[in-house]
Structure 1
């Protein structure tokens, strides 16, 4: 029998939190439910969960602040944000601080479970990939680190690492914008597209020391990594 997935749920709406907890527990999850960000951070440090599901709006410490704190000590644990429909614009910020996915309330339990499994599968695959040389850079996908020549490696966010990985896989070819948005963001809507543009800009800056490397914008289609 496979081990249960340990999921930390930070949700200040008590009734909703309990419903999610009980629903997941009937599907072989172990759920740690916390009603605010401070308690969630302590629970994370104590129990080391496999995945985090964080409501954006919480008392004491909101979901974004909590994620930032966790990312200072753990760059790989998957984080899913729960957002109200009116907070859709916050999605871009959520991805930029290291979030891996988001769900708009209300959502189905089936959708949450599928997204959790997808993120955990990606994490497993990540550890099977070897070091990649890109011009004068070395990319360590499992550790999510990028190093220029003999300089110290810089830490990438989970999404930066996955986006760079897909660009490298399709090096010198156009990476279809819609395909990568759906694969990494789970949607190709306006806010996900804006978020992807932000990450492309960040990667360009981190690769700018080698002038032979370019990430080109192929208008109306996608991006192309040229090296």
Structure 2
């Protein structure tokens, strides 16, 4: 059974903090809310967390200072900054400290969840050996070698094709949410990246056309679904 993800949430806006904590908890994340940077650091030293979500502008200790102190203790804890600032210098400062992502207010709660899930997926991908071989109908897909094989014919996939097909396989016969795929692979779900993903979906359909039982279908307003009989 997979362990519950623990989030350290530091936000000085009481109403926003409570809303975020409640929403994250409804999504299955065990979330601890701290009202300022000092309380956040004390909580960090007392308990083990999987990811930290830090507001930049907080009393007693700001998010940048808190992140620096966390980084002095560990390089492994993913950090996401929440901020009303949009200045390039501030964003760069966050990444220099060691932030994994940066979300500008106002943002949707769904966006925060997508970002958190994307980061955790990348972190877990580095720490654990995920399934590297899929059987897709008549095809064999080796994610490590980026090879799609049917009979004696092999196709070497590009990195983006490989990542997108791996995501589709991980969600085979289920809806792969468009926003989740964009933020997992492209990091940003802007218009240009969305168009880019559409192009890669078209390429994958061409690669898989030799097996008529396999389909990648559009789910309007949601994303894509890889239809595969007896997926393993």
The TM-score bracket by the shorter chain reads 0.5 to 0.7
Q: Secondary structure of the residue that 1:72 maps to in structure 2?
A: helix
Query: CA 1:45/1:186 → structure 2, altered by over 3 Å: closer, same or farther?
Result: farther
Q: Quote the residue 1:104 is aligned against.
A: 104
CA separation in 1, counterparts of 2:191 and 2:82?
18
What are the superposed Cα offsets for residues 12-31 of structure 1, whole Å, 9 maximum, x if unpaired? 00011001011111111111
- 2:51 is aligned to 51
How much does 1:89 deviate?
3.6
Structure 1-normalised TM-score?
A: 0.56
2:74 aligned residue:
74
Instruction: Indicate how the Cα distance of structure 1 residues 119 and 41 shifts in structure 2: closer, same or farther if over 3 A, else same.
Output: same
Q: Deviations over 1:42-70 (max 9, x none)?
A: 11111111100000000111000000000
Q: Does 1:30 align with 2:58?
A: no
Task: Look up the SS of the partner of 1:31 in the other structure.
Answer: strand
Tell me the CA shift for residue 109 of structure 1: 1.2
- Spell out structure 1 runs of 4+ moving beyond 3 A: 85-89, 182-189
> Deviations along 1:190-225, whole A, 9 cap, x unmatched?
xxxxxxxxxxxxxxxxxxxxxxxxxxxxxxxxxxxx
- Cα offset for 1:184? 5.4
Instruction: Give 3-state SS (helix, strand or coil) of 1:8's partner.
Output: strand
Tell me the secondary structure at the aligned position of residue 70 of structure 1. helix
C-alpha distance 188-85 of structure 1, shift in aligned 2 (>3 A): farther
TM-score norm. by structure 2 comes to: 0.55
In structure 1, list runs of 5 or more residues that go unmatched. 130-178, 190-227
What is the total number of aligned residue pairs between the two structures? 141
Distance 2:25 2:5 in 1: 10
Q: 2:54 & 2:101 partners in 1: Cα distance?
A: 10
Calculate the aligned-residue CA RMSD, in Å: 2.8
Q: Cα offset for 1:39?
A: 0.4
Q: 1:124 to 1:188 in 2, by over 3 A?
A: farther
Alignment correspondent of 2:142: none
Q: What displacement does 1:76 show?
A: 1.2
CA contact (8 A) 2:7 2:50 kept: yes
Structure 2: stretches of 5+ with no match in the other structure: 130-181, 193-232
